Structure 1
């Protein structure tokens, strides 16, 4: 088990190592390239021209002044900081054609060519989205959300949905079909993520607000040195995860607020056969001084975690609300596989959860039907106060693959509605813990 001192040292090292990119003091106002902030004029070409000019000049700030600027996909390039001034809104098109041609992306942990994320970068260095403005995806029950297949969000029997396409993509991944053959854009219904950086280095997202996302909000994939700071996510749509670092190394998520339609922060690393093919873990992730207010897991590992997750630290966070389910939620099984190791939580204040503070149940979903038993262990929880939840702990490993190493120290659990559920857990330590109702 990682000691508290070692956990603090490792977290501090990540904080020191992850630094924001620095941009030349040059500005490229989008209005000088034809953008009009009237909410009606299509500014896609103007934004692209400003990004190209900034990149060609060696980098700087593409500035968006106060106003509402209608646009399609924005593709960032190396050296570009897309800066939204106070009062600026980027209002993204509801027309799927505005997100063509298809680009390389990951949909639910599987590589494919699909609709472009609204803000996208591939293979770039030193990029940013900053400022005090708003990125509005304009998704609702008749645009994007209805593709989820959930009647709560506008889908009705007979309408197209993403699950119509998923079995084919999954089979292609299982067969090992080349990614270039997996094209799911025109005529298909995989919703794009809002902001995605793919194989990028030195990424900064700071200060902005995201609303009405089509699917996941922030999705760094296979990136290094990512800083997400003082960002607000207020998007309670289907699968509207707040921030999903996937197969990334050295990530800091700091000072952010999440009202999400799914997991607030979900660390991922690919799914099943495709996750084993890419085989890149997420590692060295620091979450600090954030608040998680709504929906499923406050901090989730998985369920797309086939490539593995290690060295995740969360500290000084505020968690809880009437619509929030879990505190720490580890989702895997013998179909997904992967590992979660060295997961350390410290100094968390939790008001209320509708389910468990910590859930890790290998039998969730497919049960024990696969050939890839997961490896989960070295989980430390320290200095945590939970006022109200259904349980403190629901942890169930497999007999042949138990959860190894779970320590709670200096924790207080208040009003817990039910006994804890524990099965196939080796090395459980409760050190100065009050209020748990441990059984099993």
Structure 2
């Protein structure tokens, strides 16, 4: 470790004053020494345009208080009161369903247009972990494949102006007794195995039906299939807001918006360490803002997706125009991830002023795909990213899972990373394209990795540009 330099330390304190605050995180010396935010010019000039195109939901100024409808908030099953509030909202043309402080157990909550579910501070919604409650089946996506499956715990379909807000807690009720064991063998539950009631037979059957073009309405994968639902899913919705709430213990992915336009996820905490507990997975969505959030998850923190294999190509809607800023990532398989269900493509992603660090954070930036998933992935911009501890800093991998076994080569180009600072990593890079379809136009500038045990690999990249990048105190010049 280098000696203490008082002049540099004081300069870093001055620089720290210009940095955006991330709740619950004290800036390290690395974070404090970052340059101030650049201006919105060049490719970044798109960011203000994206933000101006995002419409927050318009909710009528009327309230439906859960306790006024008869709920006590004393840990009772409040399913009937949530249903009554939603029906009253629907009949009135919309409004705000208010959940006062207290503890409420419930089955699935299906929101309708022009409706906000708002949790007061001290309010807790605990979903009852009885799978039969999440029937009948609804249209959903599972690992990028469309099907009729268990209802997500909070769900809206083809709704306009929907919101989930407040300072309360939403607990999905998943643990090693219910929901999570359906994964089969995993590292989350000591007694889980590939035997018994697991997702594997249904997952394989769904993949076969997807490739065969079976109509979605005929893909029945609810009871008896053991495919876990996400905690929050807004499906084919416009003008969506998720703000302020804490989401824990999800059966599957935590926040999973699908085919939405105008999505804001702000100041949300996702804390779920079960199998596949991704934090926020916008899939085939357009005009997205994710800001001020804390992700502490058993899988990817943010994973941007667009459908898997035949379904992704059939629907053919990319996720595009995404802004991620002022977020904090702790545990996870990756901080910002594109893929792996990415067959519909991803473009125009902007990440800035985020902080990542954990001994259990596996990757900082990651693109994962293969020759079965393919995908056009381009115009990805990252700047002012501070990473404390991570295993791999930058990963672009065309050999994820199935690897080079398909006919759909990924098309990945124009990836720009600037002002990245990492304190400690096991490996700087794991970047592997195909010789016949190389990664094109990867640019890394004004960045440093203070300690890396290994440089890792960079294979099959054309147009690699490295400018003012140091690793272990030495200028990095790729061979």
Q: Common fold, TM-score beyond 0.5? A: yes
CA distance in 2, matches of 1:248, 1:157: 34
Task: Give the CA RMSD over aligned residues.
Answer: 1.4
Contact 2:469/2:476 (8 A) holds in 1: no
Bigger shift: 363-372 or 293-302?
A: 363-372
Q: Report the equivalent of 2:386.
A: 349
Query: Equivalents in 1 of 2:70, 2:352: separation in Å?
Result: 45
**Structure 1 residue 99 and structure 2 residue 134: aligned?**
yes
Instruction: Tell me the equivalent position of 1:366.
Output: 402
Instruction: Specify which of 173, 176, 179 is matched with residue 138 of structure 1.
Output: 173
User: Corresponding residue for 1:90?
Assistant: 125
Q: Work out which of the residue numbers 286, 302, 318 in structure 1 matches 2:355.
A: 318
Q: What is the match of residue 333 of structure 2?
A: 296
In structure 2, the CA distance between the partners of 1:37 and 1:4, relative to structure 1 (3 Å rule), is closer
Query: Which deviates more, 132-141 or 149-158?
Result: 149-158
1:38 has 2:74 as partner:
yes
CA 1:59 to 1:280, structure 2 compared with 1: closer, same or farther past 3 Å? same
Matched position secondary structure for 2:361: strand
Q: In the TM superposition, what whole-angstrom CA distance separates every residue of 1:237-291 from its partner, at most 9, and x where no partner exists?
A: 1100000000000010000000011000000000001111111110001100000
Q: Indicate whether 1:189 and 2:226 are aligned.
A: yes
- Are the equivalent residues in 1 in contact too, given 2:272–2:296 (CA < 8 A)? yes
| 1:321-378 C-alpha deviation (Å, 9 max, x unpaired) | 1100111110011111112100000111110102x21101212322211100010010
Q: How far apart, in 2, do the equivalents of 1:82 and 1:289 lie?
A: 25
Which piece of structure 1 moves more, 154-163 or 215-224? 154-163
Q: Offset at 1:31?
A: 1.8
Residue 19 of structure 1: CA displacement? 3.2
Q: Distance in 2 between matches of 1:37 and 1:329?
A: 42
In 2: Cα distance, 1:326 partner to 1:288 partner: 18
Higher radius of gyration, 1 or 2 = 2
SS of residue paired to 2:384:
strand
Give 1:421's aligned residue. 457
Q: TM-score, normalised by structure 2?
A: 0.89
Gap regions ≥5 residues in structure 2: 1-38
More strand by share: 1
Counterpart in 1 of 2:8? none
- The answer to whether the 8 Å contact 1:350/1:386 transfers is yes
1:8-34 Cα deviation digits (max 9, x unpaired): 211222222223213222110012223
CA distance in 2, matches of 1:328, 1:311: 15
Q: How many residues align?
A: 436
Cα distance between partner residues in 1 of 2:416 and 2:40: 8
Q: Does 1:209 align with 2:246?
A: yes
Cα separation, partners in 2 of 1:380 and 1:43, compared to 1, 3 Å: same
Show the counterpart of 1:237. 274
Q: Is the 8 A contact 1:194 1:216 kept in 2?
A: yes
Gaps of 5+ in 1: none
Question: Can you list the C-alpha shifts for 1:375-411, whole angstroms capped at 9, x where unaligned?
Answer: 0010000111011112222211111100000111111
Cα distance, 1:196–1:244 mapped onto 2, change above 3 Å: same
SS at match of 2:83: helix
Residues 419 and 439 of structure 1 are in contact (CA less than 8 Å); yes or no, is this contact kept in structure 2?
Answer: no
Contact 1:419–1:438 at 8 Å: present in 2 too?
no
TM score, norm. by length of structure 1: 0.97
Q: What SS class does the counterpart of residue 90 from structure 2 fall into? A: helix
Structure 1 residues 138-157: aligned runs within 5 Å? 138-152=173-187, 153=189, 154-157=191-194
Matches within 5 A, 1:52-91: 52-91=87-126
Aligned partners of 2:219 and 2:93: how far apart in 1?
A: 35
Q: Distance in 2 between matches of 1:188 and 1:68?
A: 31
SS at match of 2:104: strand
